[in-house]
Structure 1
Amino acid sequence: MDALHDALSGAQVEPAVFGLRPDYRALLIAVDGLEPGSSDGTSAALIESAEASARAALAKGPVEDLPHVAAWRDAYRAFGAKPQRTRNSLEALLRRAASGLPRVNPLTDLYNAVSVLHQVPLGGEDLSRYQGPPRLLRASGAEPFDTVVDGAELVEHPEVGEVVWCDDAGVTCRRWNWRQARRTQLTEHTTTAVFILDALDPMSDDELAATADELVAHLAHLGPSVTSARRLIRAGDAERHD
């Protein structure tokens, strides 16, 4: 458990990000002991539930009118991104619900389902592939981002001022919660992971904590000795560790 706390202790959200959205909160969860290849089918059932939940939500109106989606569209505009072209991860998943959410691997499927069910952007990455702690900052434009375009591996760079998650080696996720790097992506071999839940108003701290609780409860089924630690980062608040 100490190792998980240590992994989160250096995580930072730079003041420039809170300058864009003072209501932003990042809830980071570090997990160890995962055996995602031994899934009991829970993730498949959860994804089907998430698809039904998304279809019900979208039957009431367009996706951009959902409160948390609308808040994230405003956040993207604040740093110069066009939400119609580069959608936050929550909106992208909700828009795919009608035709079916992606099936990637049990671990990724699980957190995608929780994201849709609670309508919060949620990313997961292989913690063992990190070099240094996660940091959310406004990019200089020099940070490398490894991705795939039209089947070819490519190193891109974020736009100046873009909000990005980074470690010491480069960008791990562009445009706050839009696209993750290949280097730290979860695979069927991942045993230790970090999950990042991104919240804006109107999502409350209690709703954010409940989402984290559900995620951790499901992750506990992916191995006989799964352990976790979490940390909440928000503007003007003291560090919190559980």
Structure 2
Amino acid sequence: MKQFRVEEDFWKLFPEAQLHLVVVKGINNHKPQDERYLIDLLKDGKEAAKGYLTEEVFSQNSVIKEWREAFSTFKTKKGARSSIEALLKRVDQGRDFQPINSLVDIYNSISLTYALPCGGEDLQSIEGDLYLGVAAGGESFLPLGAESDAPALPGEIIYGDEKGAVCRCWNWREAQRTMLKEETTDAVLVIESINPEQHQRADKAVKELKRLVDVYFETESHIEKIAKPSTSVSL
């Protein structure tokens, strides 16, 4: 059984961080999509997200400020931002969200609704165990939509496995190798929070994420939580 571990060098940078995981196995992501349902989920998420954009200047909204400050504490690729900033930027610009695939659409709707970074990995594509920690530098990484390797930088926060990085700059960019696809049957979905106010939202978000996944895929997922001093859970 695969393990997911959080390394000590991550806790040194973010001792208050928490990770909420939903682990789901044996699903059929080929299931005919109820596109209207998924569009409505994303639409509702977009409407909820507007409540976090109360400042006229986008960068002054608390969610944006908190994650930009977090990203300033470790080495990042120039221009890298948190995944929740990317989603909220689309909301701020009045852009709509279109379905990608069922798992991604569901976690994006949760990310928008609770203003928290959410992501997911295909467990069958993970080589060995999955970890979150500080990169040594040079970990192989083929970004989503790219054709050439873009290795991690020394000191960068990454999710990784035995083969390389699977998500760079903490939650900025996903790897093609482990991304959620229609062929995905086993997945881990991750919600990240970095302060007490975000933790309260994450506690609610992970329960709603589990509910949506279980209802949509007619399955029974399970929740795991990692907070210091915990270091690992089974996937």
Same fold (TM over 0.5): yes
Q: Contact 2:23 / 2:222 at 8 angstroms: preserved in 1?
A: yes
Post-superposition Cα deviations, 1:69-113, rounded to whole Å, max 9, x if no partner, equal 322111110003378x21100000011121113431122111111
Matched residues, percent identical?
Answer: 29
Residue of structure 1 in register with 2:74 after alignment:
79
1:205/1:51 CA distance change after superposition, 3 Å: closer
Q: Which structure 2 residues correspond to residues 1-242 of structure 1 after superposition, within 5 A? A: 6-7=1-2, 10-36=3-29, 37-40=31-34, 41-81=36-76, 85-97=79-91, 98-147=94-143, 152-224=146-218, 226-237=219-230
1: CA distance, partners of 2:232 / 2:162: 21
Q: Please state whether the residue corresponding to 1:156 is helix, strand or coil.
A: coil
Q: Please state whether the residue corresponding to 1:153 is helix, strand or coil.
A: coil
2: CA distance, partners of 1:181 / 1:238: 24
| Deviates most, 38-47 or 207-216 | 38-47
2: CA distance, partners of 1:200 / 1:91: 14
Give the number of aligned pairs: 231
Unaligned runs of 5+ in 1: 1-5
Q: Contact 2:213 / 2:221 at 8 angstroms: preserved in 1?
A: no
C-alpha root-mean-square deviation of aligned residues, in Å?
2.3
Q: Which amino acid aligns with 1:111?
A: Y
Unaligned runs of 5+ in 2: none
1: CA distance, partners of 2:69 / 2:198: 18
TM-score (norm 2): 0.88
Q: Please state whether the residue corresponding to 1:141 is helix, strand or coil.
A: coil
Post-superposition Cα deviations, 1:181-227, rounded to whole Å, max 9, x if no partner, equal 00011112222111111111143544322111100111112323x12
TM-score (norm 1): 0.86
1:93/1:204 CA distance change after superposition, 3 Å: closer
